[in-house]
Chains A and B, each alone.
Chain A
Amino acid sequence: MLEQLETIPVLSIMLAMPLVGALFVGFLPTGKGGANSKLWAFVFSLLTFFVSLLLLAFNQEALFSAGNVANAGSHFQFLERHNWLPEFGISYHVGVDGIAMLLVVMTTFLQIFAVAISFTTIHERFKEYFITILVLETGMLGAFVALDLVLFYVFWEVMLVPMYFLIGIWGGQRRIYAALKFFLYTMAGSMLMLVAIMALFFHVHAQTGVWTFNLLDIKTALAATPITGRIGMLMFGAFALAFAIKVPMFPFHTWLPDAHVEAPTAGSVILAGVMLKLGTFGFVRYCIPLFPDAAAVFAPLILILSTIGIVYGALVAAMQTDVKKLVAYSSVSHLGFVMLGLFSFTPQALSGAVLQMINHGISTGALFLLVGMIYERRHTRQIADFGGLWEQMPVFGRIFLIVTLSSIALPLTNGFVGEFLILVGAFQSEVPFAQVLTVIATTGVIWSAVYMLWMFQRVMYGPVDKPENRRLRDLSFGEKAIMIPLVLVIFWMGIYPTAFTRKMNSSLQIVLGETRSQRPLSYGGAEAAAAAAAAQQQRLPAASGRAGVASR
């Protein structure tokens, strides 16, 4: 099935779909109350999702076939490559591995709900709004699938602009401040990354005499002559800073609460659900594979910052009076777990980290949706303004409870699997201080219960002592339709995460190979490829055996 699919440009169709949708929205009449714009945006979000589902044909077994290794050693599938500016070695080169594939599907999945919730939360400038959000989707998807550094950078910046407008136009009271802060923060990181990309470009030319921005070619070149020493550290640092701001890691996180509080609901969903993952994804895709030595050097520092982020984010979250801000700080904490997993360099932690990226997208996305729903009813997000909603909105209450539990990582929900794998993996890590830091990070299970349950208690339980809270209607049919799929995914990932991990296990193995600082998986020389192929051949039976077990 994969072979047939790879003959058609699935990824390009997927990338184009939201843009086509934006054209529809732009050129067709808005309709009464934005009805047409809503319809088209929704239809095209759905179509994008369906197209992205084709990626599920991603075949991890194929990675282990010798032919594929010879094929530029790519563990990427659905590859497309067209020259763009050949004289500069810039090409339109896209493809997905197991990690990107899952994140892409998560993005298109969340986009549906982001668009759907906008039906009721957006009250003006429908056309512009839906165009913006569709362009944003293309930007994010592009950043996930790009395999060319310039292409990646373009998508990376493209998604920045619509988000800036989303916050700045459809945001809350301090939207301009928040939008500007978001933009400047991110731009500062991006600039450094651009410098590093250029530096890499010249470095590779100096090494190989080839002008190229192509990720795979660069990896091949670096595999032969890794960047080490100070220059490697500087480049790693530049990339890492850009991604760390996006994640956001402590202490670069202060843009996030402001951006979340001011952003419209859909903006928060996309911001937390997808955009933050681009930061962590950047580490997996660029930072670690390109500069494994520097990554190993920086790992203790990153683990320390992640651990601080976990505890700090949770403690600060506990003190928040605004539900949305609370969720924003909880994201700092949760993303700390992801970073902890990524830089522990163990199979469990890495697997957990990628799972946790998806988990966080689903759970926090769902939380923001829920917060948006009560905001529409009460026009406040202050915890103190609520109380007793369990009585008023039973369906809302139950769904809110499930999502809350998922956020505090109760077993059988998605959060547990991710956190557990990260922590158990990090504990086995050889990075200095990893064990102590893991123990500190594990206190996160206490703090998350503290801030989430306290918030839940104040919002949902107690008597209805505010007259405004008496007139609340429960979730509408549409709102239930938005929440139920997310709830199902929460349980699905919690009970049978194998469905997800089996798609990414082999890609993770390759990433893990790249993290082993000396001479990672070689993409170039025939000897190395042959050796790698031989080694992988040996692993093949085991892998298929596992897959066989998993598929039962």
Chain B
Amino acid sequence: MWLIPAFPLLGYLIIAFLGQRLTGSPLPVVEAGGHDDHHGGDHAATDAHAHNAGPSDAPEFAADHAAAASGVASGHGANDPHGPTAHGDDHGSSHGGHDEAHLKPGGTKLVGGLATLMVFLSFLVSLLVFFSLLGAHGEGTARVFSPAFTWMNVPPFADPLGSEVMKGLNLNFQLAVDPLTSLMLLIITGIGTLIHLYSTGYMSHDKGYARYFSYLNLFVFFMLLLVMGSNFLVMFVGWEGVGLASYLLIGFWYTRQSATDAGKKAFIVNRVGDFAFLIALFLIFKFFGTFEFYGPGGVLTAEGIAGAKAAGYLQGGLALGLGAVTLVPLLMFIGATGKSAQIPLFVWLPDAMEGPTPVSALIHAATMVTAGVYMVCRAHSLFLLSPTVMTIVAVIGLTTAFMAATIALVQTDIKRVLAYSTVSQLGYMFLACGVGAFGIAMFHVTTHAFFKALLFLGSGSVIHAMSGEQDMRNMGGLGLKIKTTWRTMLIGTLAISGIVPFAGFWSKDEILLHAFAGPNENGLGSPLLWAGGFIVAGMTAFYMVRMMMKTFAGQPRFSPEVGSHVHESPPSMTFPLIVLAFLSAVGGFMNAAPLGIHAFEHFLGDTVGWRERVNYPLRVENTTVLILLAASALLAIAVCLWARSAYAKAPRGERLTEQQKQANPLWRWTYNKWGVDEIYNGIFVRGGKAFSNFLWRYMDVKVIDGMVNGVAGGIAHFANSIRGWQSGYVRNYALTMLVGVVLVVLGCLIGVGTFGGGR
């Protein structure tokens, strides 16, 4: 089982250490001078000195050589003045041709192939595990544990003279696979393989080719740890690890300030969530005494929960009047809002589009951002204990879905539309969690992984064709030129919009149904939640069709020069599109509930509370179910048709002119993303800076150090003032002695008078 994460890790290590050597030293555009030997890098450590000593005007080669020789470096470019910075907002700039590096074609094939192969091997092993679980079906209780090693071990303390005992901590580094994990494994490694394959084409001209694949493999490794960890801590390793990989990949084009800013923002915002997650872990340890999910006394077992209840888990008043039973899932959910980009921590995801597009597809659409949903589903037994938190999850999910959808309606950047769409769809998943339909949430995770990965990869293909252009205002009419991309993306659009019978319909419809009449004993669903979800579904269909129309329909709005370069992507990129389009089209039948197919949920079984769900069936009539079903099916079709005709008529693909847009406060507000970034910037970034500066420049330098220096200065002053006494004149010393003697005698007399008197 260790094989599954081991393959990507191996890929990471190999590429990180040898990638540079394999792809060859990148040969950038260098205007000044140049060196004649910059291929290979076998003698580079010494080269570095040579270059430094010599009158080198291209020291970057020295750097690159040293990198190659040390083997620590991965693919890496030397400085290129025409690099990505020159492109400004041009996100796909690596295809602009300027910073194309002359990589060794064989080497790049090897690196890309190796990275893809490693993930593919993981996929094969995951398939094996999946089928073995499918065979040994036990309502989701089948679980396989890997060999473990002790990660942290603190023995319990027993006072030798007393009976006082403090519990120890024995933490194993262990993996486990159950149906829920195995599903995630298939998504991660399956879609991961496709996206790796796609990347071999998409990134083929980038000088950071090897570095890119090393990071990508690293990401897969951590993501696998996240879903395979058999306890919260191993999960947390993956949790933070994917954050790292995300940070590195968002900031992949590191010369661009906006990219590194976005990476940093993603990491820090996620850390805020991790902070909450950590507190939840402390509470879990306090009440459960372990971090293990399952096994004896495991956190997610009935036995473990009973033990915690005995330890006062249900008592309130721990903090803010809330008990651990509320705080634990609440804090975990805050952690999830960080990773899964929900209110209030969603701000990083749109910025994360600074990364290469396949990264957006893999990390910021299909896998990492669903980690929060995975976590909530995994710990659903803790969430179910607190109806309050369940309600919060549902409301936050719905609110996020709505807010992000409004923002997606007005974006002009093709990737930003998809980014906000992702945030919105993740909101849907949390809505499902909040009403207790965990299995459905995972189902939407799965279908969303298909169609959103497809849409992102498709948008990457568009950007590729458009020489790096991402603004839809400069597109149009691409449908005829890049037909495969157009057709596959159309399927993705139909799927996300919820058109029967594409994948999105089945999952979204189920979510709406459960939002209407939640399956839980607490009656978590409500028509209000349904109505909200229904509106969002309509908006989803609208902004997706809008995006498609702007991109592919109408007259071309790009320059003829760009137009001449428009071409369909190579097979390495279109093949994944086709596979994903197929999955988006038919993937929904895994759990076509209206047709009576529950295979998906049944497979997940206990891991997503299937049994609880069966015990508390929907609280509605079958006719209501049918009406709701028809309503959402018709809504999707109607909105799609309306949006299509509206944009078909619109001149230059715009329904509003710029003036109309600017005059409309609602437009401005949504276009500015509800101003959340500005508020956060104002309060946290600027406020934090001001406060920290105050601490440093006033507290530290003035107050504390001022006191220290004041004391020192006072002593110096005092010493200076008495220095005069040491004048060197005997008469002065004699006088001093006389005074001293008088004082001593006086002192003795007084002393005798005071103390001696009593004798």
Residues of chain A at the chain B interface (Cβ within 8 Å): 181, 184-185, 251, 253-255, 312, 315-316, 318-320, 346-348, 351, 388, 390-395, 398-399, 405, 410-412, 416-417, 420-421, 423-425, 427-428, 435, 438-439, 442-443, 445-446, 449-450, 453-454, 457, 460-464, 470-477, 480, 495-498, 501-502, 505, 509, 512-513, 516, 519, 521-522, 528, 531-532, 535-536, 539, 542-543, 546, 549-550, 552
- Report B275-310 residues with CB < 8 Å from chain A CB: 275, 278-279, 281-283, 285-286
**Within the complex, which residue of B158, B286, B696 is in contact with A539, where a contact is CB–CB below 8 Å?**
B158
Binary A-proximity of B49-66 (CB < 8 A = 1, otherwise 0): 101100010011011101
Given known pairs A461-B251, A462-B254, the reply for A392 and B60 (CB within 8 Å) is yes
Q: List 9 A-B contacts (CB under 8 A).
A: A319-B697, A347-B155, A428-B282, A449-B267, A476-B48, A505-B153, A531-B160, A532-B160, A550-B153
**Is B578 close to A, CB under 8 A?**
no
Closest to A389 in B: B63
Pair A549/B150 contact, Cβ less than 8 Å: yes
CA distance A221 to B691 in the complex (A): 50
Pair A398/B48 contact, Cβ less than 8 Å: no
A428 CB contacts on chain B under 8 angstroms = 166-167, 282, 285-286
B153 CB contacts on chain A under 8 angstroms = 498, 501-502, 505, 546, 549-550
**Is B642 close to A, CB under 8 A?**
no
**Within the complex, which residue of B155, B274, B688 is in contact with A505, where a contact is CB–CB below 8 Å?**
B155
Tell me the minimal C-beta distance from B604 to chain A in angstroms.
Answer: 27
Pair A347/B166 contact, Cβ less than 8 Å: yes
Pair A421/B160 contact, Cβ less than 8 Å: no
Pair A392/B79 contact, Cβ less than 8 Å: yes
**Is B480 close to A, CB under 8 A?**
no
**Within the complex, which residue of B63, B83, B274, B278 is in contact with A392, where a contact is CB–CB below 8 Å?**
B63
B637 CB contacts on chain A under 8 angstroms = none
Closest to B286 in A: A428
Question: Considering residues A320, A346, A395, which has the most beta carbons from chain B within 10 angstroms of its beta carbon?
Answer: A395
- List the 3 shortest-distance A-B pairs measured between CB atoms, nearest first: A535-B160, A474-B66, A427-B282
Pair A390/B72 contact, Cβ less than 8 Å: no
CA distance A257 to B146 in the complex (A): 47
**Within the complex, which residue of A442, A462, A476, A516 is in contact with B275, where a contact is CB–CB below 8 Å?**
A442
CA distance A410 to B237 in the complex (A): 8
CA distance A10 to B60 in the complex (A): 49
Known: A445-B271, A473-B62, A532-B160. 7 other contacts (CB 8 A): A388-B79, A464-B79, A470-B60, A505-B153, A513-B157, A519-B161, A546-B170
Residues of chain B at the chain A interface (Cβ within 8 Å): 45-46, 48-49, 51-52, 56, 59-60, 62-64, 66-67, 70, 72-73, 76-79, 83, 85, 149-162, 164, 166-170, 173, 233, 236-237, 240-241, 244, 247, 251, 254-255, 257, 260-261, 264, 267-268, 271-272, 274-275, 278-279, 281-283, 285-286, 319, 688-689, 691-693, 695-697, 699-700, 704-705, 708, 712
A471 CB contacts on chain B under 8 angstroms = 52, 56, 59
Pair B160/A477 contact, Cβ less than 8 Å: no
Pair B237/A516 contact, Cβ less than 8 Å: no
Given known pairs A427-B286, A513-B159, A531-B160, the reply for A391 and B241 (CB within 8 Å) is no
Tell me the minimal C-beta distance from B461 to chain A in angstroms.
Answer: 28
B156 CB contacts on chain A under 8 angstroms = 347
B268 CB contacts on chain A under 8 angstroms = 446, 449-450, 453
Pair B695/A516 contact, Cβ less than 8 Å: no
Pair B264/A453 contact, Cβ less than 8 Å: yes
CA distance A421 to B59 in the complex (A): 45
Pair B79/A394 contact, Cβ less than 8 Å: no
Given known pairs A388-B255, A394-B63, A550-B150, the reply for A347 and B157 (CB within 8 Å) is yes
Closest to A439 in B: B279
Given known pairs A411-B240, A470-B60, the reply for A516 and B159 (CB within 8 Å) is yes
B282 CB contacts on chain A under 8 angstroms = 423-424, 427-428, 438, 442
CA distance A416 to B267 in the complex (A): 16
CA distance A472 to B78 in the complex (A): 12
Tell me the minimal C-beta distance from A64 to chain B in angstroms.
Answer: 11
A528 CB contacts on chain B under 8 angstroms = 161
A253 CB contacts on chain B under 8 angstroms = 704
CA distance A449 to B158 in the complex (A): 37
**Within the complex, which residue of A392, A443, A450, A512 is in contact with B157, where a contact is CB–CB below 8 Å?**
A512
**Within the complex, which residue of B60, B254, B279 is in contact with A442, where a contact is CB–CB below 8 Å?**
B279
CA distance A508 to B271 in the complex (A): 31
Closest to A543 in B: B155
Pair B48/A473 contact, Cβ less than 8 Å: yes
Tell me the minimal C-beta distance from A493 to chain B in angstroms.
Answer: 11
Closest to A332 in B: B700
B691 CB contacts on chain A under 8 angstroms = 315
Tell me the minimal C-beta distance from B98 to chain A in angstroms.
Answer: 14
A-B contacts at CB below 8 angstroms, number: 242
A509 CB contacts on chain B under 8 angstroms = 155, 157
Pair A463/B83 contact, Cβ less than 8 Å: yes
**Within the complex, which residue of A320, A410, A442, A531 is in contact with B278, where a contact is CB–CB below 8 Å?**
A442
Given known pairs A388-B79, A442-B275, A471-B52, the reply for A346 and B166 (CB within 8 Å) is yes
B149 CB contacts on chain A under 8 angstroms = 496, 552
CA distance A502 to B699 in the complex (A): 42
CA distance A552 to B172 in the complex (A): 13
A423 CB contacts on chain B under 8 angstroms = 278, 282
B85 CB contacts on chain A under 8 angstroms = 463
Closest to B283 in A: A427
**Within the complex, which residue of A251, A347, A472, A519 is in contact with B704, where a contact is CB–CB below 8 Å?**
A251
A405 CB contacts on chain B under 8 angstroms = 244
Tell me the minimal C-beta distance from B745 to chain A in angstroms.
Answer: 30
CA distance A140 to B361 in the complex (A): 54
Tell me the minimal C-beta distance from A550 to chain B in angstroms.
Answer: 5
Tell me the minimal C-beta distance from A505 to chain B in angstroms.
Answer: 5
CA distance A424 to B167 in the complex (A): 12
Pair A398/B73 contact, Cβ less than 8 Å: yes
Pair B59/A391 contact, Cβ less than 8 Å: no
Closest to A257 in B: B700
Pair B154/A347 contact, Cβ less than 8 Å: yes
A475 CB contacts on chain B under 8 angstroms = 48, 66, 70
Pair B244/A498 contact, Cβ less than 8 Å: no
Closest to A258 in B: B705
Pair B260/A457 contact, Cβ less than 8 Å: yes
CA distance A85 to B494 in the complex (A): 91
B45 CB contacts on chain A under 8 angstroms = 476-477, 480
CA distance A184 to B251 in the complex (A): 46
CA distance A484 to B251 in the complex (A): 25
Closest to A417 in B: B152
B251 CB contacts on chain A under 8 angstroms = 457, 461
Tell me the minimal C-beta distance from B101 to chain A in angstroms.
Answer: 13
B66 CB contacts on chain A under 8 angstroms = 394-395, 473-475
Closest to A451 in B: B692
CA distance A320 to B150 in the complex (A): 39
Closest to A454 in B: B264
Pair A445/B73 contact, Cβ less than 8 Å: no
**Within the complex, which residue of A416, A457, A473 is in contact with B63, where a contact is CB–CB below 8 Å?**
A473
Pair A480/B70 contact, Cβ less than 8 Å: yes
CA distance A519 to B164 in the complex (A): 13
Tell me the minimal C-beta distance from B723 to chain A in angstroms.
Answer: 18
B70 CB contacts on chain A under 8 angstroms = 395, 474-475, 480
Pair B60/A316 contact, Cβ less than 8 Å: no
B78 CB contacts on chain A under 8 angstroms = 391
Tell me the minimal C-beta distance from A507 to chain B in angstroms.
Answer: 12
